[in-house]
Structures are given as structure tokens and as C-alpha cells.
Chains A and B, each alone.
Chain A
């Protein structure tokens, strides 16, 4: 080789190999995945553009009239719930599905990061992107005249995080059990179906009877309703909290059991 005289690869007296501290590994992975999500154009459309379009749509049409509050105040909590579904379910699901296809999950789990660190990093990335979405949607909504109930921030943010957890569990379950192409189809289709008919942005009472009954038990309907309860009335919605917990624990356990790493 032409550069056989080059410096040895391993410097003399180099320290023994050791892992970086756990927290640093998770933060690094979270940062890496966050940047990957933000740089992905399709992801950005799903995470920011479509929710903003839906927000405009709901504030210029009379769809939410007659529900006892200004259109924008009813719309924004649901749009934030939609953001959680975009990022945690569709976005993270598709990314994880393809990472699995390309062996990225297997490779990273052989590094000090490990499987737990990898999952922790993904959750961190979901939360980071969700925070960015909250800032963008919140700013646009403020311009549109959104005046949330101040006491609603605590229950609202708590429910948003719980909803993100439920949708992350569901996204990982899909990504870990079917081919990435199927993950792409399933998570996009469900995003549209649940977005339109799942009670997430349009309250269940405004939906056709079947969807109305079903929506209360769906993660979309529960999160949408919990967010509206929080930001309209400043209250914790206990039934919805229970539904979301169930949608976190059951798919989470199923993902732990059936997730295929290769």
C-alpha cells in the first residue's frame, strides 16, 4: 500500500476501550436521530406542513362552529395531537422500519449504545421534534388568535407526552414486525384515517355515528379529546388518560415481545 509508512492506526499507549457514559450515549443518539428527522423532507411535510394546513383549514371553515368556543381554540389542541401522531407514529415508525431493513439497528446495538440506548435515543428524538412542532404551531396559532387556558399547559403537555409515548409504542410495534414498505403504507394510511375520522382534530361529536362511538377508544380520539379538555378547560381528562395508558402499555409490551431486530 502506498501509505504503509503512515502512522499506525492505534496510537502507542492508547487507553483501553471503554464506553462513554450512558447519558452521553443517549443524548448523542437523540441528537443524531433528531437531525435525521428534521433533515428528511417528507418527514417535515408530515410533521409541520400538513398540520399547519389542517390548522388553517379548520380556522377558515365552519366545521368547528357551534361547539362553544372559537374555532382556533378548538382546533389547536387537536393539531398538536396530530403533530404527536405524525412524529411518534408515522415518522419514527418509517425511520425505524428502514433502519431495521438496512441493519442499522443491529449495528448500533453492538456498539456501547445498545438496544436500550437506541430506544431511549428514539424517544428523545420524538420529544425534541415534538417540542419544535409545538413552538411552530403555537406561534402560528397565536397569530391566528389562539388563547389557551393558562391552567391547561400542565395537563396539556403531560397528555401530549403520554400520547407521544402511545404512538411511539405503536410505531415501533409496526416497524418491528412487518417489512418497511408495509410500515410505510400502514403508518401513512392510519395517519390519514385517524387524522380524518379518529377524533383527533375533529371532535368525535362531529363525526359519523360509527366513528363517533369508536373514536373514544382510539389513541387518536383519546389524545385529541384530552388536549381539548386541557387547553379549553384546564382539566385532566381521566378517561382519556386511561385509554392512552392502555395504548402505551399493550403495544409497548407487544413491541418488546415481537420486535424483530433483523
Chain B
């Protein structure tokens, strides 16, 4: 496990039991079972995992919203369960469900929250950067998912925190909101803020995160930079990169015949009728052979895709589960 210098958040062996009321069978249920992580300043640290993996519970224990059952947590050097207003003022939180009153209007709400801080950020810049002025006359209940997320992000940022928690920041974001939010997160990271986010989307982690913890079944299963994780099992020997070629074409093609001697060492399959994948150490000559064969046979594929390993493959490898 890495230990960044001056971590903003350190979690060691976090355990969280819920119940007996919350669990159906009346027993205690262990929803987090030994999560450890460290998050640094000026970095985006992502907790990646399927729904129910324990990501949100881990964050809520770090934020002091839930009391942990075991393990240690240090948030800016303090125990969040004992935190006072001084610590809370240095930490911004965006909850998964937003946490904004439906009848409130954006600007009075932000002004109200800003009043809880001695040195809040100037509201006009915040409102402009997040594009809130365009919907500032609507009540929260009338906002779209993306608008609500942007407002919730503004509410988390208004106190100018050193640490920012974002629980599923891209949930419900339209492409435009996503662009605004992602650029802002990158800018905040560069300004030195320590950002900790959860996501079940590989794409988010790949675009945003400096360091990723993969959480499954309530504990860490892998960690590293995105590049490190992508190398996981990627090159078997001699640094050969495994790639997957997939295409859609008429059903029943004999790919082995098409590739001839080059088929050796590749995994060929027709997953559904007419939907083919070729996986292995693909080289330009494989593509040349295959496309030449299509030309001979008069086949034009309906779709064609070539990919190196994705973070999703890594996740599948590690957890044996689909992330979505």
C-alpha cells in the first residue's frame, strides 16, 4: 500500500457492522470488512467497486456520518468520530443523494451554507463556474439530475475545503455537466485539494483518478495508479500486450480457416450468432490477413473494434464479477 506524504485521509482495517435492525435476518451484517486506504493532497483517489461493495459506507465512516465498528481513521490527522466544527469546515462533502432540501432555491441555499464558514469562497465565481446561474430561479425539486449534482458540488465546495469527498459524482450527469464537473475536479486537484471519490464507472476512474482502490465485498482487492492496474496480467511474457478485436458480420464464419497459421495462440469465438471476438497478442499481420480475407469473401463487417485491456477487464479478472 502506498503512503503519500501528508495524507489527508488514512484508513486502516476499517470494519463496519450494521444491524441487527438493518439486516433482514436480525443478525449483524458486516458491510465493510478491512478496507484500508490513503489519500494525498493534490490527488484524486478513487474507490472503485460495484454497487453494495462498501464504498459509500467507507466514505460515510470517514466523514463521521456513521460510527465505525473497528479499525482506525485519520482525517486531516483527526478521528472523524470526535471531530468538531473546525475539522468539518476543512472538509467538503457531496453525498450520493445530494442532501439538498427540495423546496430551496439554489442561491439562497448556497448563501445559507456559506454562512456556516468564516472564509467561504466568493459565491459569484462558484456559481458561474458550475453554470448555476442558468437555473438559479428554480427550486431544487425542479432541477435535472445534472443540475442537482452541480449544485451539490457547489455546496460541498463553498467552504473552500482542503479535502473533498464526492460520492458517485458523475451519477445522473448529462455530457455537458460531466465536462464542467470533471474539469473543475481536475483544477481543484491541481490547486492542492485532496479529493476522494467513489464510482462504479470505469470511465470515471480512468479519466479522473491518480490512484485507484478497487473495493469488492467490503474489502480492498487491488490498488494502484490506473496505469499500474492496467498492467495487471496484461503482458505475460516479453511485454506482449493482449488485445481484443471484436466485429459483427454474417453468422457462421470460419475464422480459424481465415487466419490460417496465424490463428495459433489466439482465442477465437462467436459469442452470439454473427458477433465475433479474437483475443490475444494481436499484431498488424493478423489485421492484414483478416481484412484481406473479408475482401476475398466480399464481407463488410457491420462494426469493428480493437481494444487493449480496460480497467473493466482488470476488475473482472480480480473480482470475477461484472462491475455494472
- Across the interface, B95 reaches (CB within 8 A) one of A11, A28, A107, namely A107
Contact flags (1/0) for B80-106 with A, using CB distance below 8 Å?
A: 000011101111010101111111100
B257 within 8 A of A: no
Nearest to B152 among chain A residues (CB) is A107
Contact flags (1/0) for B153-164 with A, using CB distance below 8 Å?
A: 001010111100
* Residues of B contacting A4 in the complex (Cβ-Cβ under 8 angstroms): 183
| B119 and A18 contact, CB distance less than 8 A | yes
Instruction: From known contacts A9-B129, A114-B88, infer whether A18 and B118 are also in contact, taking CB-CB under 8 Å.
Output: yes
| B160 and A14 contact, CB distance less than 8 A | yes
Instruction: From known contacts A99-B101, A110-B64, infer whether A19 and B115 are also in contact, taking CB-CB under 8 Å.
Output: no
* Residues of A contacting B117 in the complex (Cβ-Cβ under 8 angstroms): 17-20, 111-112
- Across the interface, B116 reaches (CB within 8 A) one of A39, A103, A106, A113, namely A113
| Cα–Cα distance between A262 and B125 once the two chains are bound (Å) | 32
| Cα–Cα distance between A194 and B191 once the two chains are bound (Å) | 58
A16 within 8 A of B: yes
Nearest to A107 among chain B residues (CB) is B99
Q: Which of A1-56 contact B (CB under 8 A)?
A: 1, 3-4, 6-11, 14-22, 24-25, 28, 32, 36, 39-40
| A16 and B119 contact, CB distance less than 8 A | yes
Chain B interface residue count, CB cutoff 8 Å, equals 47
| Cα–Cα distance between A6 and B128 once the two chains are bound (Å) | 9
B179 within 8 A of A: yes
Instruction: From known contacts A110-B65, A114-B85, infer whether A9 and B184 are also in contact, taking CB-CB under 8 Å.
Output: yes
| B128 and A109 contact, CB distance less than 8 A | no
| Cα–Cα distance between A146 and B295 once the two chains are bound (Å) | 101
| A36 and B65 contact, CB distance less than 8 A | no
Nearest to A261 among chain B residues (CB) is B65
| Cα–Cα distance between A229 and B191 once the two chains are bound (Å) | 65
* Residues of B contacting A107 in the complex (Cβ-Cβ under 8 angstroms): 93, 95, 98-100, 152, 155
B147 within 8 A of A: no
Q: Which of B24-66 contact A (CB under 8 A)?
A: 63-65
A42 to chain B minimum Cβ distance, whole angstroms, is 12
Contact flags (1/0) for A65-99 with B, using CB distance below 8 Å?
A: 00000000000000000000000000000000011
* Residues of B contacting A39 in the complex (Cβ-Cβ under 8 angstroms): 103
- Across the interface, B180 reaches (CB within 8 A) one of A1, A10, A15, A103, namely A1
Interface centre among A6, A20, A24, A111 (most CB of B within 10 A): A111
| B121 and A10 contact, CB distance less than 8 A | yes
B266 within 8 A of A: no
| Cα–Cα distance between A247 and B203 once the two chains are bound (Å) | 54
Q: Is the interface of A mostly helix, strand, loop or mixed?
A: loop
| B99 and A8 contact, CB distance less than 8 A | no
B126 within 8 A of A: yes
* Residues of B contacting A6 in the complex (Cβ-Cβ under 8 angstroms): 125, 128-129
| A102 and B102 contact, CB distance less than 8 A | yes
| Cα–Cα distance between A117 and B102 once the two chains are bound (Å) | 21
* Residues of B contacting A111 in the complex (Cβ-Cβ under 8 angstroms): 88-89, 113, 116-117, 159
* Residues of B contacting A256 in the complex (Cβ-Cβ under 8 angstroms): none
| A103 and B99 contact, CB distance less than 8 A | yes
A189 within 8 A of B: no
Count A-B contacts at CB 8 Å: 131
Nearest to A39 among chain B residues (CB) is B103
B122 within 8 A of A: yes
| B85 and A19 contact, CB distance less than 8 A | yes
| B103 and A36 contact, CB distance less than 8 A | yes
A154 within 8 A of B: no
* Residues of B contacting A110 in the complex (Cβ-Cβ under 8 angstroms): 63-65, 88, 91, 93, 95
Instruction: From known contacts A25-B116, A110-B93, infer whether A17 and B99 are also in contact, taking CB-CB under 8 Å.
Output: no
A104 within 8 A of B: yes
B305 to chain A minimum Cβ distance, whole angstroms, is 29
A125 to chain B minimum Cβ distance, whole angstroms, is 13
B187 within 8 A of A: yes
| B119 and A28 contact, CB distance less than 8 A | no
| A17 and B161 contact, CB distance less than 8 A | yes
- Across the interface, B122 reaches (CB within 8 A) one of A11, A25, A113, namely A11
B112 within 8 A of A: yes
| B85 and A106 contact, CB distance less than 8 A | no
| Cα–Cα distance between A19 and B113 once the two chains are bound (Å) | 11
B226 within 8 A of A: no
| Cα–Cα distance between A106 and B128 once the two chains are bound (Å) | 26
B190 to chain A minimum Cβ distance, whole angstroms, is 10
| A8 and B118 contact, CB distance less than 8 A | no
Instruction: From known contacts A104-B100, A262-B65, infer whether A9 and B187 are also in contact, taking CB-CB under 8 Å.
Output: yes
Nearest to B119 among chain A residues (CB) is A15
Interface centre among B88, B159, B187, B191 (most CB of A within 10 A): B88
* Residues of B contacting A11 in the complex (Cβ-Cβ under 8 angstroms): 121-122, 125
| Cα–Cα distance between A24 and B117 once the two chains are bound (Å) | 10
Nearest to B124 among chain A residues (CB) is A7
| A18 and B65 contact, CB distance less than 8 A | no
* Residues of B contacting A24 in the complex (Cβ-Cβ under 8 angstroms): 115
Please report B residues at the A interface, Cβ cutoff 8 Å. Answer: 63-65, 84-86, 88-91, 93, 95, 97-104, 112-113, 115-119, 121-122, 125-126, 128-129, 152, 155, 157, 159-162, 179-180, 183-184, 187-188, 191
Shortest 9 CB-CB contacts between residues of A and residues of B: A107-B99, A103-B99, A19-B85, A110-B93, A18-B118, A19-B89, A112-B85, A15-B119, A103-B97
Q: Other than the known A9-B121, A19-B88, A110-B63, what 13 A-B pairs have Cβ atoms closer than 8 Å?
A: A3-B128, A3-B129, A4-B183, A15-B118, A17-B118, A25-B115, A102-B100, A106-B95, A110-B91, A111-B88, A111-B159, A112-B85, A114-B88
